Amino acid sequence: MRLTYTAVLLPDSDGGYVVEVPALPGCVTYGKTLAEALLMAEDAIGGYLAVLQEDGDPLPLAWTRTEGPPPATAAV
């Protein structure tokens, strides 16, 4: 099964990007470039979902943003 989650990329004051995944509380990562931030988001999402599966917890299927289009998505 392929799941897609919205990743919110926020410019960091020291450079690079902080990435948050709203559907996965606490799923936050960082990348020095936009490309690296997206790769790191895929890795963080994959790890988060793997832990949920190991613990027998359900996987969040979607997140809907109420204002405007999502800034970026990462699929795992």
pLDDT by 10-residue block (mean), the chain, 76 residues:
86 96 94 96 95 94 54 51
CATH classification at residue 28: 3.30.160.250
pLDDT at 67: 46
pLDDT at 49: 94
Domain residues for the domain of 69 are 4-75
- Burial annotation 52-76 (CB, 10 A radius, 16+ → b, else e): eeeeeeeebeeeeeeeeeeeeebeb
pLDDT at 34: 95
In 10 A of CB 11, how many CB atoms?
10
pLDDT at 69: 52
pLDDT at 31: 97
What is the value of pTM for the model shown? Answer: 0.77
Q: Number of folded domains in the chain?
A: 1
One-letter identity of residue 60: P
